[in-house]
Amino acid sequence: DKIPPVEIADKVVEYCGITPEQLTLVLTPTTSLAGSMQVVGRVLEVALHKAHELGFPLDDIVDGTGAAPLCPPGSDFLTAMGRTNDAILFGGQVHLFVAGDEAAAADLARQLPSATSDDFGRPFAEVFKATGYDFYKIDPMLFSPARVAVTALETGRTFHAGELREDLLDTSFGSGD
């Protein structure tokens, strides 16, 4: 939620081969509706990251789609960050289409949902606060969608795991403001 340092803009200008006058940076604070949308819109990215963390070969993921509810913006950074993460953790849904054997697809589906994490079950803002606001103390397996489907392309069989948790979304979206 801060303006990036001028050095970052300079690197973007250089990398893109443009002049500074041709660069426009769009800033979307997490506390805004646009900020909420850009975080929640990364539900598929979050699933791909967790698949990578689990050691699943990303080259075997042929396609995917995802959706998550758009949360109400929070009036402060912690509330907004909590709600956007909770939209993915408790309301995010992803469907991946994978090459490879059926057993690998089933295993990925089983391991992918956020509920597999020891930190699952409380609003993200509470989890973050409990770690002393240190992201690195949060179980990395938490960062994933609530419900997943993984289709093994060779057989067409789809494996489902996880569940949507409207009760936890209600707690998150209704608290803090």
Q: For 68-87, what is each residue's pLDDT tens digit?
A: 999 999 999 999 999 999 99
Q: For 104-129, what is each residue's pLDDT tens digit?
A: 999 999 999 999 999 999 999 999 99
Q: List residues bridging with 148 in a β-sheet.
A: 94, 161
Alpha carbon 36 to chain centroid distance? Answer: 12
Domain map of the chain by residue range? 1-28, 31-173
Q: List residues bridging with 161 in a β-sheet.
A: 148
pLDDT given for residue 175 in this prediction: 54
The answer, yes or no, to whether residue 176 has pLDDT greater than 70, is no
Q: Give the architecture-level CATH label for domain 31-173.
A: 2-Layer Sandwich (3.30)
Report the run of H or E that residue 110 belongs to, with start and end. Answer: helix 102-111
The answer, yes or no, to whether residue 45 has pLDDT greater than 90, is yes
Quote the pTM value.
0.88
Give the E-state strand segments of the chain in sequence order: 61-67, 93-98, 147-152, 157-162
pLDDT above 70 covers what percent of the chain? 98
Of the candidates 164, 70, 67, the one whose C-alpha atom is nearest the C-alpha of residue 114 is 164
